[in-house]
Amino acid sequence: MTVCSQPKRKGAGLLRRLASPFLPSTEYPSKYLDLTGKTALVTGTTSGLGLEACRQLLSHGVSQLIMSARTEIKGETVAEELRFQYPHADIQVWILEMESYDSVIAFTERAAVDLDRLDMVILNAGTFDPDASVSNYTGHEKMFQVNYLSTALLARLFVPVLKVVPPEREPSRLTVVTDGHYNPSRSVGATYALVGRTLEKGAATYVDAVAVKGRESHGETISNCRSQYRIMDCCKPVEWQDFEESFWEMTEREFRSLFTGSQTLGAKIYNAIMTEQWLRRSQA
Protein backbone atom coordinates (compact mmCIF):
# COMPACT_ATOMS: atom_id res chain seq x y z
CA MET A 1 0.00 0.00 0.00
CA THR A 2 1.20 3.50 -0.78
CA VAL A 3 -0.19 6.91 0.01
CA CYS A 4 -0.24 9.73 -2.55
CA SER A 5 0.24 12.91 -0.57
CA GLN A 6 1.92 16.17 0.15
CA PRO A 7 4.24 15.74 3.18
CA LYS A 8 3.15 16.94 6.61
CA ARG A 9 6.16 18.82 7.91
CA LYS A 10 5.63 21.84 10.06
CA GLY A 11 6.64 25.04 8.35
CA ALA A 12 7.61 23.31 5.13
CA GLY A 13 4.32 22.27 3.57
CA LEU A 14 3.45 25.57 1.90
CA LEU A 15 7.02 26.23 0.79
CA ARG A 16 7.25 22.77 -0.72
CA ARG A 17 3.99 23.29 -2.59
CA LEU A 18 5.01 26.63 -4.04
CA ALA A 19 8.45 25.35 -4.99
CA SER A 20 7.16 22.08 -6.43
CA PRO A 21 6.90 23.19 -10.09
CA PHE A 22 10.50 24.43 -10.00
CA LEU A 23 12.07 21.28 -8.56
CA PRO A 24 14.07 18.94 -10.82
CA SER A 25 11.96 17.14 -13.42
CA THR A 26 9.80 14.38 -12.02
CA GLU A 27 9.98 10.88 -13.52
CA TYR A 28 6.39 10.38 -14.59
CA PRO A 29 5.12 6.99 -15.77
CA SER A 30 6.50 6.07 -19.18
CA LYS A 31 4.20 6.37 -22.15
CA TYR A 32 5.18 2.76 -22.85
CA LEU A 33 3.67 1.54 -19.56
CA ASP A 34 1.39 -1.36 -20.57
CA LEU A 35 -1.55 -2.26 -18.32
CA THR A 36 -3.31 -4.49 -20.83
CA GLY A 37 -5.39 -7.20 -19.19
CA LYS A 38 -5.49 -5.48 -15.81
CA THR A 39 -8.44 -4.25 -13.76
CA ALA A 40 -8.35 -0.95 -11.89
CA LEU A 41 -10.83 0.52 -9.42
CA VAL A 42 -10.90 4.24 -8.63
CA THR A 43 -13.18 6.10 -6.22
CA GLY A 44 -14.21 9.72 -6.66
CA THR A 45 -14.05 9.73 -10.45
CA THR A 46 -16.62 12.20 -11.75
CA SER A 47 -14.24 15.16 -11.88
CA GLY A 48 -10.75 16.43 -11.15
CA LEU A 49 -7.81 14.19 -10.36
CA GLY A 50 -9.91 11.04 -10.03
CA LEU A 51 -11.30 11.42 -13.55
CA GLU A 52 -7.89 12.26 -14.95
CA ALA A 53 -6.39 9.20 -13.25
CA CYS A 54 -9.04 7.06 -14.95
CA ARG A 55 -8.19 8.61 -18.29
CA GLN A 56 -4.48 7.92 -17.81
CA LEU A 57 -5.03 4.32 -16.71
CA LEU A 58 -7.12 3.75 -19.83
CA SER A 59 -4.48 5.37 -22.02
CA HIS A 60 -2.01 2.79 -20.68
CA GLY A 61 -4.32 -0.04 -21.73
CA VAL A 62 -6.26 -1.00 -18.60
CA SER A 63 -8.81 -3.56 -19.78
CA GLN A 64 -11.42 -3.08 -17.07
CA LEU A 65 -12.09 0.09 -15.08
CA ILE A 66 -14.48 0.44 -12.17
CA MET A 67 -15.44 4.05 -11.44
CA SER A 68 -17.32 5.07 -8.32
CA ALA A 69 -19.96 7.80 -8.31
CA ARG A 70 -22.61 9.02 -5.89
CA THR A 71 -25.28 9.04 -8.60
CA GLU A 72 -25.63 6.89 -11.70
CA ILE A 73 -26.47 9.85 -13.95
CA LYS A 74 -23.30 11.76 -13.09
CA GLY A 75 -21.14 8.67 -13.26
CA GLU A 76 -22.51 7.49 -16.59
CA THR A 77 -22.09 10.94 -18.10
CA VAL A 78 -18.32 10.89 -17.64
CA ALA A 79 -18.09 7.15 -18.33
CA GLU A 80 -19.71 7.55 -21.75
CA GLU A 81 -17.02 10.02 -22.77
CA LEU A 82 -14.32 7.60 -21.70
CA ARG A 83 -16.00 4.68 -23.48
CA PHE A 84 -15.98 6.71 -26.69
CA GLN A 85 -12.28 7.53 -26.26
CA TYR A 86 -11.23 4.04 -25.15
CA PRO A 87 -13.56 1.48 -26.78
CA HIS A 88 -11.21 -1.37 -25.90
CA ALA A 89 -12.03 -1.16 -22.19
CA ASP A 90 -14.89 -2.45 -20.06
CA ILE A 91 -15.82 0.69 -18.10
CA GLN A 92 -18.36 0.30 -15.31
CA VAL A 93 -19.90 2.81 -12.91
CA TRP A 94 -20.65 1.57 -9.40
CA ILE A 95 -22.56 3.65 -6.87
CA LEU A 96 -20.68 4.57 -3.69
CA GLU A 97 -21.95 6.90 -0.96
CA MET A 98 -18.93 7.56 1.22
CA GLU A 99 -21.02 8.83 4.14
CA SER A 100 -22.73 5.45 4.44
CA TYR A 101 -21.04 2.39 5.94
CA ASP A 102 -23.66 0.19 4.26
CA SER A 103 -22.70 1.59 0.87
CA VAL A 104 -18.98 1.14 1.55
CA ILE A 105 -19.50 -2.49 2.59
CA ALA A 106 -21.78 -3.24 -0.38
CA PHE A 107 -19.21 -1.69 -2.72
CA THR A 108 -16.40 -3.96 -1.53
CA GLU A 109 -18.68 -7.00 -1.46
CA ARG A 110 -19.54 -6.37 -5.10
CA ALA A 111 -15.86 -6.13 -6.00
CA ALA A 112 -15.15 -9.44 -4.25
CA VAL A 113 -17.98 -11.22 -6.07
CA ASP A 114 -18.15 -9.60 -9.50
CA LEU A 115 -14.50 -9.07 -10.44
CA ASP A 116 -12.39 -11.93 -11.76
CA ARG A 117 -9.30 -9.95 -10.84
CA LEU A 118 -8.45 -6.64 -9.20
CA ASP A 119 -4.96 -5.31 -9.78
CA MET A 120 -5.12 -1.67 -8.68
CA VAL A 121 -7.25 0.31 -6.24
CA ILE A 122 -7.02 4.09 -5.92
CA LEU A 123 -9.00 5.48 -2.98
CA ASN A 124 -9.41 9.05 -4.14
CA ALA A 125 -12.93 10.03 -2.98
CA GLY A 126 -13.01 12.87 -0.47
CA THR A 127 -14.94 15.94 0.56
CA PHE A 128 -14.48 19.41 2.00
CA ASP A 129 -17.17 20.91 4.20
CA PRO A 130 -16.30 24.31 5.73
CA ASP A 131 -19.46 24.17 7.85
CA ALA A 132 -18.33 20.99 9.62
CA SER A 133 -21.83 19.57 9.25
CA VAL A 134 -22.86 16.19 10.63
CA SER A 135 -23.55 13.18 8.43
CA ASN A 136 -27.15 11.98 8.48
CA TYR A 137 -25.88 8.44 7.95
CA THR A 138 -23.54 8.02 10.93
CA GLY A 139 -23.76 11.12 13.12
CA HIS A 140 -20.07 11.85 12.59
CA GLU A 141 -18.73 15.08 11.14
CA LYS A 142 -18.86 14.67 7.35
CA MET A 143 -15.20 15.26 6.51
CA PHE A 144 -14.08 12.90 9.29
CA GLN A 145 -16.54 10.30 8.07
CA VAL A 146 -15.68 10.50 4.38
CA ASN A 147 -12.00 11.39 4.39
CA TYR A 148 -10.97 9.12 7.25
CA LEU A 149 -13.47 6.57 8.55
CA SER A 150 -15.03 5.42 5.27
CA THR A 151 -11.72 5.58 3.43
CA ALA A 152 -10.06 3.51 6.17
CA LEU A 153 -12.89 0.98 6.03
CA LEU A 154 -12.57 0.68 2.26
CA ALA A 155 -8.85 0.03 2.63
CA ARG A 156 -9.45 -2.41 5.49
CA LEU A 157 -11.94 -4.39 3.39
CA PHE A 158 -10.03 -4.29 0.12
CA VAL A 159 -6.74 -5.60 1.53
CA PRO A 160 -7.95 -9.21 2.08
CA VAL A 161 -9.49 -9.20 -1.40
CA LEU A 162 -6.33 -7.86 -3.03
CA LYS A 163 -4.16 -10.44 -1.30
CA VAL A 164 -5.82 -13.29 -3.19
CA VAL A 165 -3.62 -13.36 -6.28
CA PRO A 166 -2.40 -16.39 -8.28
CA PRO A 167 1.34 -16.95 -7.77
CA GLU A 168 2.14 -16.22 -11.42
CA ARG A 169 0.69 -12.67 -11.18
CA GLU A 170 2.36 -9.71 -9.58
CA PRO A 171 0.81 -8.45 -6.31
CA SER A 172 -2.18 -6.14 -6.44
CA ARG A 173 -1.71 -2.59 -5.17
CA LEU A 174 -3.77 -0.11 -3.19
CA THR A 175 -3.07 3.57 -2.74
CA VAL A 176 -4.85 6.13 -0.57
CA VAL A 177 -4.93 9.70 -1.80
CA THR A 178 -4.49 12.35 0.85
CA ASP A 179 -3.47 15.97 1.19
CA GLY A 180 -0.98 16.87 3.86
CA HIS A 181 -2.12 20.41 4.54
CA TYR A 182 -5.07 22.70 4.03
CA ASN A 183 -4.39 26.44 4.15
CA PRO A 184 -7.53 28.61 4.33
CA SER A 185 -5.84 31.69 2.91
CA ARG A 186 -7.43 32.66 -0.40
CA SER A 187 -4.34 34.56 -1.47
CA VAL A 188 -2.19 31.51 -0.87
CA GLY A 189 -4.67 29.40 -2.83
CA ALA A 190 -4.54 31.84 -5.73
CA THR A 191 -0.75 31.84 -5.68
CA TYR A 192 -0.63 28.05 -5.68
CA ALA A 193 -3.08 27.99 -8.59
CA LEU A 194 -0.60 30.02 -10.60
CA VAL A 195 2.42 27.84 -9.89
CA GLY A 196 0.91 24.42 -9.13
CA ARG A 197 1.40 21.37 -11.31
CA THR A 198 -1.16 20.51 -13.95
CA LEU A 199 -4.05 18.10 -13.48
CA GLU A 200 -2.29 15.60 -15.75
CA LYS A 201 0.90 15.66 -13.69
CA GLY A 202 -1.02 15.39 -10.44
CA ALA A 203 -2.94 12.32 -11.59
CA ALA A 204 0.29 10.80 -12.91
CA THR A 205 1.39 10.35 -9.30
CA TYR A 206 -1.68 8.16 -8.73
CA VAL A 207 -0.76 5.99 -11.70
CA ASP A 208 2.86 5.84 -10.61
CA ALA A 209 1.85 4.66 -7.14
CA VAL A 210 -0.30 1.74 -8.33
CA ALA A 211 1.37 0.76 -11.60
CA VAL A 212 5.06 1.64 -11.37
CA LYS A 213 6.19 1.66 -7.76
CA GLY A 214 6.79 -1.81 -6.36
CA ARG A 215 7.17 -3.55 -3.02
CA GLU A 216 9.84 -1.06 -1.97
CA SER A 217 7.20 1.68 -1.74
CA HIS A 218 4.95 -0.22 0.69
CA GLY A 219 3.83 2.15 3.44
CA GLU A 220 5.49 5.15 1.85
CA THR A 221 4.09 8.53 0.92
CA ILE A 222 4.51 9.34 -2.76
CA SER A 223 4.56 12.95 -3.95
CA ASN A 224 5.38 14.04 -7.50
CA CYS A 225 6.16 10.38 -8.26
CA ARG A 226 8.88 10.35 -5.62
CA SER A 227 8.97 8.49 -2.32
CA GLN A 228 8.94 11.12 0.42
CA TYR A 229 8.91 9.23 3.71
CA ARG A 230 7.48 6.16 5.34
CA ILE A 231 4.19 6.66 7.15
CA MET A 232 5.57 5.32 10.43
CA ASP A 233 8.59 7.64 10.32
CA CYS A 234 6.43 10.69 11.07
CA CYS A 235 5.28 9.16 14.37
CA LYS A 236 8.59 8.51 16.15
CA PRO A 237 7.93 10.37 19.43
CA VAL A 238 6.48 8.04 22.06
CA GLU A 239 3.47 10.27 22.62
CA TRP A 240 2.64 10.13 18.90
CA GLN A 241 3.03 6.37 18.85
CA ASP A 242 0.64 6.10 21.79
CA PHE A 243 -1.83 8.40 20.07
CA GLU A 244 -1.58 6.45 16.83
CA GLU A 245 -2.24 3.14 18.56
CA SER A 246 -5.17 4.44 20.60
CA PHE A 247 -6.66 6.21 17.58
CA TRP A 248 -6.47 3.08 15.44
CA GLU A 249 -7.98 0.99 18.24
CA MET A 250 -10.85 3.47 18.38
CA THR A 251 -11.23 3.09 14.62
CA GLU A 252 -11.24 -0.70 14.83
CA ARG A 253 -13.87 -0.60 17.58
CA GLU A 254 -16.05 1.45 15.26
CA PHE A 255 -15.56 -1.06 12.46
CA ARG A 256 -16.03 -4.14 14.65
CA SER A 257 -19.40 -2.81 15.76
CA LEU A 258 -20.53 -2.96 12.13
CA PHE A 259 -19.88 -6.70 11.85
CA THR A 260 -20.53 -8.09 15.35
CA GLY A 261 -22.59 -11.25 14.99
CA SER A 262 -22.82 -10.81 11.23
CA GLN A 263 -22.33 -13.66 8.76
CA THR A 264 -22.45 -11.45 5.68
CA LEU A 265 -19.75 -11.48 3.02
CA GLY A 266 -18.61 -8.09 4.29
CA ALA A 267 -18.04 -9.55 7.76
CA LYS A 268 -16.06 -12.43 6.27
CA ILE A 269 -13.94 -10.02 4.27
CA TYR A 270 -13.36 -7.90 7.36
CA ASN A 271 -12.18 -10.96 9.25
CA ALA A 272 -10.07 -12.02 6.26
CA ILE A 273 -11.96 -15.29 5.86
CA MET A 274 -11.31 -16.59 2.38
CA THR A 275 -14.39 -18.20 0.86
CA GLU A 276 -14.08 -21.23 -1.40
CA GLN A 277 -14.80 -19.01 -4.38
CA TRP A 278 -11.80 -16.81 -3.60
CA LEU A 279 -9.59 -19.82 -2.94
CA ARG A 280 -10.52 -21.36 -6.29
CA ARG A 281 -9.84 -18.06 -8.01
CA SER A 282 -6.38 -17.76 -6.42
CA GLN A 283 -5.47 -21.24 -7.65
CA ALA A 284 -6.83 -20.74 -11.18
pLDDT in tens, 210-222: 888 767 666 667 7
Which of 124, 133, 135, 155 minimizes the C-alpha distance to 52? Answer: 124
Give, in degrees to the nearest 5, the angle at Cα 275 between 270 and 280: 135
pLDDT at 166: 86
Alpha-carbon gap, residue 31 to 275, rounded angstroms: 38
Count of domains for the chain? 1
Q: Which residues contact 43 (CB under 8 A, 6 or more apart)?
A: 50, 68, 96, 98, 122, 123, 124, 125, 154
pLDDT at 211: 85
Instruction: Flag residues of the chain having pLDDT under 50.
Output: 5-12, 14-15, 18, 25, 181-195, 274-280
Domain that holds residue 212: 2-283
What CATH number is given to the structural domain containing 106?
Answer: 3.40.50.720
Q: What gap in Å lies between CA 103 and CA 154, rounded to an integer? A: 10
Q: How many CA atoms lie within 13 A of 145 on its CB side?
A: 20
The per-residue pLDDT for range 235-252, each reduced to its tens digit, is 556 667 778 888 888 999
Q: Which pLDDT belongs to residue 78?
A: 97
